[in-house]
Amino acid sequence: MKWIKFLFNVVMAMFIGAAAQTYLGLNAYAVAGTVMTAGVVLPLVAPQLVKDTAFMAITVEIWQNHIEEEIFKKNTFMRKSFNADEYVIGGKVVHIPQSGGSGNVVKNRANLPAAVRKRNDTDIVYVIDEFTTDPVVIPDADTKELTYDKRSSVLGEDNDKLVEVVAEETLYNWVNSPVYGVYGATTLPSKNILLTSGDASAATATGATGERKKAALVDLQRMATKFKNEGRWFEGKMHALLTPQMEADLFPADSLITATYMAAVTEEERRRGIMYKVQGWNIESRSTVLRTDGDGGIIAPGEVGDTDHCDAALFWYENAVEFAWSGVKAFQTIGDPTYYGDLYSFLARSGSRARRAGYEGVALLRQTPTV
């Protein structure tokens, strides 16, 4: 194989030399010789220089692309929403206009002129948040004594944490909006929270004790009926994100019905994270979704679990929620003199919200505490 690589270097050197002579007027043989020297001799006499230079040139691009792919590979649900990426660069706060409503329609109007109305629109807002990882140092000794895979492992931990935090915040923001300026806090109304109706089983939420009712197939039907009655049902754009236990309760592995639901998913849909198609719902699963307290209040990400907490699954119409994403920016300092090593960190900007003030098109299915 070495002679093939050598022959390839010769051909490429001749090609570059010919191009240099044609367009720059340089001596083709001199240019080709220089290219061969750099390509063959330099790796032999200074292999570490070549290795370090190549790594420095691609580090940022590799990690930007890697994190970008991981964000949406592990959390495909975030892209099943109204795409508001264009607003991230435009400002810190995104305003979503709210229509004041349509006018009356009169059959065979008798009184003229008709009364003129003015539509009073309002708006709701959400803030673009900035997510940054703590800078991590890779000591100089590690770059000499450890492999590239070790460096990849260190930075991969930051990648995983960034993915997790952005996803958790997105889920929470879709059912809860904090105070901002003159805009008061709002949260998913209680009428948008349905309770599971299956048999009792052990509680699954972190810190929870006792038993909760399982999710049942009839709960999916009840949820679909709710969306249809409210005029928020649009075929092909209805999504559900289940907890692992709810998935196991609804779709046992030994059930032929489960196989039918899985077979209804196309290969393209499966690549987009959809695992089952049931009663019009495109269903995915995630290690955690949302939690509520015993009264149905929604628990914020990172909050310590309690004995009365309940797991909840999210159901939504695709255009009822919004997600804005800037992408990931990678930072690096190679050979920092104060840390005697290389420094890395990542930054991303993101925001999300339900698109209607009344949270139309968004609902939760939460576990029912048993008495």
**Scanning the structure block, which residue is given the tokens 């709960």?**
219
**Whether 219 contacts 197, CB under 8 Å:** yes
Q: Are residues 40 and 145 in the same domain?
A: no
Residues 122 and 151 in one domain: yes
The alpha carbon of residue 219 and the mean position of all alpha carbons in its chain are separated, in whole angstroms, by 26
Question: Within 10 Å of residue 166's Cβ, how many Cβ atoms?
Answer: 22
Identify whether 107 is part of a domain.
no
pLDDT value of position 59:
52
Does some domain include residue 110? no
Please give the pLDDT value at position 20: 46
Q: What is the mean pLDDT of residues 286-302?
A: 94
Angle between helices 2-24 and 28-36 (to 10 degrees): 140
- Residue 1 confidence class, pLDDT cut points 50, 70, 90: very low
For the stretch 41-84, pLDDT in tens is 434 444 443 344 334 433 566 666 666 666 777 788 998 998 88
> How many domains is the chain built from?
2
- Together in a domain, 92 and 207: yes
Coil, strand or helix at 38: helix
pLDDT at 90: 62
**Strand (E) or helix (H) holding 61:** helix 47-74
CB 283 within 8 A of CB 314: no
The reply to whether 58 and 38 lie within a common domain is: no
- The separation between the first and the last C-alpha atoms of the chain, rounded to the nearest angstrom, is 73
Q: What is the pLDDT of residues 145-170, one digit of tens each?
A: 655 566 677 777 887 888 889 999 99
Residue percentage of the chain with pLDDT more than 90: 46
With respect to residue 108, please indicate whether it lies within any of the assigned structural domains.
no
pTM of the model: 0.77
Residue 111 domain-assigned?
no
β-strands 362-366, 193-195 pairing: parallel
Summarize pLDDT for 199-253 with one digit per residue, the tens: 999 999 999 999 999 999 999 999 999 999 999 999 999 999 999 999 999 999 9
Task: Assess whether the previous peptide bond of 113 is cis (omega < 30° from 0).
Answer: yes
What rounded mean pLDDT belongs to the chain? 82
Q: Assign 182 a pLDDT band (cuts: 50, 70, 90).
A: confident
SS3 assignment, position 95: strand
292 and 371 both lie in a single domain = yes
Domain that holds residue 26: 2-45
CATH code at position 94: 3.90.1690
